[in-house]
Amino acid sequence: MSTTTESPALHIQPDAAALAHAAAELLLERANAAIADHGHVSIALTGGSTPRVLYARLADPELRGRTDWARWRVFFGDERAVGPEHADSNYRMAREALLAHVPIPATQVHRLAGEAALYPGTLEDYTAALARDVAPNPALRGGFPGFDLLLLGMGADGHVASLFPGSPALEETTAWVVVNPIAQMGTRRLTLTLPVLNAAREVWLIVTGANKAERVQQAFAAGEDDQTLPVMRVRPRAGKLVWWLDAEAARLLPKRHTHPQS
Ligand code: 6PG
């Protein structure tokens, strides 16, 4: 799979813990580079089990002193149709693993109000925050907010954020954030749309576990026009795509990907 600008970068780590450690180090480097370049870093967090380990690592006393958290602008790529205290809330997970432990000004943490899935009228606030705090990617037209770093997980069905196979939000070309009905789950979720994902300057796909190996193999084998899985449609238009895999998720990849030097 490739993006329009450059081939994806691939980091393979033995397991989720090692991945989280390595990814945290590089994430801080990227964040500090963005801060040095334009005074802040805009980042979209994702839900998921591996990202949670990454967030906890960022909050570790050994690392958390390595960045100026006052320069961070935090958003969420998606959220379940629940409030911030619900066990399923991505916001709650990120708050417990990271946000409660680092001094990011509260006005710079933008919760995607999961309860809005029931009352879509409140999406305007989130869209306004994106317009205010996430500048468009200077290399692109269209004015979509271009995150410095946008984190994604991937489900075993190839979904990213809350863009599930066959869900209507996959076809959204203008709105930045939508309520997306997920028929296969009998629920609705809030999600950033593909134009926003693909306007990011750097997108990280953080995927671990043997149950993801087949979709990872499928994604890497996909041609430019193959849109079978939502993950295949993540192609930053003027940015970098980075895969973070553990050995289990990478086990079906051909050697040319896992041992490029060989
Ligand atoms: C969510 C995430 C979702 C997640 C994948 C992978 O709301 O749960 O946004 O896209 O990243 O389902 O989750 P795991 O890493 O836990 O398998």
DSSP secondary structure string, the chain? Answer: ---SSSPPEEEEESSHHHHHHHHHHHHHHHHHHHHHHHS-EEEEE--SHHHHHHHHHHTSHHHHTTS-GGGEEEEESEEESS-TTSTT-HHHHHHHHTGGGS---GGGB----GGGGT-GGGHHHHHHHHHHHSPBPTT-SS--B--SEEEE---TTS-BTTB-TT-GGGG--S-SEEEEEEGGGTEEEEEE-HHHHTT-SEEEEEE-SGGGHHHHHHHHH--TT--SSGGGG---TTSEEEEEEETTTTTTS-HHHH-TT-
List residues near ligand 1 (CB under 6 A).
Answer: 46-50, 78, 90, 153-155, 159-162
Which ligand 1 atom sits closest to the C-alpha of 77? 9
* Whether residue 121 has pLDDT greater than 80: no
> Given pLDDT bands bounded at 50, 70 and 90, which one contains residue 118?
confident
* Whether residue 2 has pLDDT greater than 80: no
Which ligand 1 atom sits closest to the C-alpha of 156? 17
Cα(154) to ligand 1 centroid in Å equals 6
Q: Determine the pLDDT at residue 259.
A: 77
Greatest alpha-carbon span in the chain: 54
Smallest CA separation from ligand 1 atom 13, residue: 48
> Given pLDDT bands bounded at 50, 70 and 90, which one contains residue 255?
confident
> Given pLDDT bands bounded at 50, 70 and 90, which one contains residue 3?
very low
Q: For 134-148, what is each residue's pLDDT tens digit?
A: 999 989 988 999 999
Cα(81) to ligand 1 centroid in Å equals 14
* Whether residue 203 has pLDDT greater than 90: yes
Q: For 36-50, what is each residue's pLDDT tens digit?
A: 999 999 999 999 998
Q: Across residues 244-257, what is the average pLDDT?
A: 93
Q: Across residues 123-137, what is the average pLDDT?
A: 95
Out of 49, 53, 54, 78, mutate this one to test ligand 1's pocket (max ligand atoms within 8 Å of CB): namely 78
Smallest CA separation from ligand 1 atom 11, residue: 153
Q: Determine the pLDDT at residue 116.
A: 79
Beta strand 187-192 with 202-207 is unpaired
Q: Determine the pLDDT at residue 120.
A: 61
Cα(161) to ligand 1 centroid in Å equals 7
* Whether residue 4 has pLDDT greater than 50: no
Average pLDDT, the chain: 94
* Whether residue 7 has pLDDT greater than 90: no
Record the pTM: 0.95
CB neighbour class for 37 (10 Å; exposed up to 12, middle 13-18, buried from 19): exposed
Out of 80, 152, 154, mutate this one to test ligand 1's pocket (max ligand atoms within 8 Å of CB): namely 154
Which ligand 1 atom sits closest to the C-alpha of 211? 17
